[in-house]
């Protein structure tokens, strides 16, 4: 008799997880629960939660391309312009977890990328200029190092090029960018807090 109140409470709590009007189903190793339910310690089937609520913040962050959303600008669902100064090796830290520095303009209109984005945001795309034509790739010898990107900064230059959809490039030692440590995104540095990197959703 002393166990009856406790059993009633367990039965009541388990029943709370059932949909209104449903009858609790008993379960054990030989009698599993229907799909979408699990066997509780009380030996009754209870409904599973439709989603893990603890994952909601991560899912929300995944829709923002910049680690610091306050300094980011959404250019499309796949591309963000993320502003911030960074030392050598720090460019990728401007992107949110799950995002990466862009290697191409993504789904952006090339002219919008070149003319309508304020300041300048570099991509993971090196180029060099031996004479009057800009060539894609890592600079060798004495050629000036450039990086492709998006932006209308006066210190960036426009080039029509067949090897990339990017139309704008910034040379070494311009607008706060410094590529003297090496010609790659991981060797780049930036002292201009209004400039930064382009971050893409893979």
My answer on whether 71 and 171 are in the same domain is: yes
Q: Is the pLDDT of residue 160 over 50?
A: yes
CA distance 66 to 83: 8
Predicted confidence band of residue 23 (pLDDT cuts 50, 70, 90): confident
Antiparallel, parallel or unpaired: β 120-128 and 196-200: parallel
List, for residues 73-124, the tens digit of each pLDDT value. 999 999 999 999 999 999 999 999 999 999 999 889 999 999 999 999 999 9
My answer on whether 35 and 82 are in the same domain is: no
pLDDT of residue 199: 97
Structurally, how many domains does the chain consist of?
A: 2
My answer on whether 74 and 166 are in the same domain is: yes
For residue 133, the SS3 value is coil
My answer on whether 163 and 68 are in the same domain is: yes
My answer on whether 148 and 164 are in the same domain is: yes
List, for residues 117-149, the tens digit of each pLDDT value. 999 999 999 999 887 788 999 998 889 999 999
Q: Which two three-digit tokens encode residue 74?
A: 């959404």
pLDDT of residue 59: 44
Question: What pTM did the predictor assign?
Answer: 0.69
My answer on whether 63 and 42 are in the same domain is: no
Quick one: what percent of the chain has pLDDT higher than 90? 59
My answer on whether 92 and 46 are in the same domain is: no
My answer on whether 95 and 27 are in the same domain is: no
Which of 35, 50, 65 corresponds to the end of one domain? 50
Structural domain for 10, as ranges: 4-50
Higher pLDDT residue, 2 or 28? Answer: 28
């Amino acid at each position: 008799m002393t166990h009856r109140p406790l059993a009633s409470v367990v039965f009541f709590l388990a029943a709370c997880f059932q949909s209104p009007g449903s009858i609790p189903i008993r379960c054990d190793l030989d009698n599993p629960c229907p799909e979408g339910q699990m066997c509780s310690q009380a030996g009754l089937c209870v409904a599973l939660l439709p989603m893990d609520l603890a994952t909601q913040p991560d899912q929300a962050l995944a829709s923002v391309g910049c680690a610091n959303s306050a300094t980011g600008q959404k250019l499309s669902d796949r591309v963000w312009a993320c502003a911030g100064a960074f030392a050598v090796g720090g460019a990728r830290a401007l992107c949110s977890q799950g995002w990466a520095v862009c290697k191409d303009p993504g789904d952006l209109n090339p002219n919008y990328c070149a003319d309508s984005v304020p300041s300048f945001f570099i991509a993971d795309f090196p180029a060099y200029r031996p004479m009057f034509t800009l060539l894609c790739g890592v600079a060798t010898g004495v050629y000036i190092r450039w990086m492709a990107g998006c932006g209308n900064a006066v210190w960036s230059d426009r080039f029509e090029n067949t090897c990339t959809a990017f139309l704008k490039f910034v040379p070494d030692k311009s607008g706060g960018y410094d590529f003297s440590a090496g010609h790659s995104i991981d060797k780049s540095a930036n002292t201009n807090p209004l400039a930064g990197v382009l971050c893409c959703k893979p």
